[in-house]
Amino acid sequence: MTAQRTLILLKPDAVQRGLRGEILRRIEAKGYDIIALAQRTATSEELAAHYAEHEGKPFYPGLVEYMASAPLVALVAEGEGVIPGFRSLAGKTNPTEAAPGSIRGDLAREWDLPVIQNLVHGSDSEESASREIAIWFPELG
C-alpha cells in the first residue's frame, strides 16, 4: 500500500476542552506522521467548501456556526492506510455510539444541541482528502 494523506480537524470543542494534546498523542502513538498543522479560526469560505456535501441538511447552519465559533486546529497526517485508519481512531459520528477506545467514544458525549459535537473531522476517502487538503493547506497541493 502506498502512503496516503488525510485532512484532520480538531474542532472548536476539542480546543476549548483542552484535548489537543490528547488527540495529537493518539495520532502520533498510532504511528502516523503529522506533516502540517495550524491553529486558526475557520472562515465561512473554508467551511462552505469543506462541508459542501452537507449544504441543505437541517444541521448545516448549526454545523457551520459551531465550526466558526472558536479556533480549530487543522492538520495533515500521512501514512499507509491513514484515511480509514484515522476514521477508525475517531469512531462513529455520534459519540454515544462511538466505541470505547476511539477518540469520540472515550472523550466526547451527546449534548442537547442542534449539532453533534464530536471533537474531530477526518477525510472519508482519497477524493475527499485531496479536496480538503487543498482547502486548508493550499501550499501542499
Question: How does strand 72-80 pair with strand 120-122?
Answer: unpaired
Per DSSP, 97 falls in state T
Q: Active-site positions?
A: 121
Three-class secondary structure of residue 93 per DSSP = coil
Task: Tell me how far, at minimum, the Cβ of 81 lies from ligand IDP, in Å.
Answer: 17
In this complex, which beta carbon is closest to ligand IDP, that of residue 101 or of residue 139? 101
Q: Kindly tell me which of 24 and 47 has the beta carbon lying closer to ligand IDP.
A: 47
Cell of 141: 497541493
Segment 90 to 129, residues that bind ligand IDP, using CB under 6 A: 93, 115-116, 118, 121, 124
Are the beta carbons of 115 and 63 closer than 8 angstroms?
yes
Instruction: Write out the residues near ligand IDP by the rule CB under 6 A.
Output: 54, 59, 63, 93, 115-116, 118, 121, 124
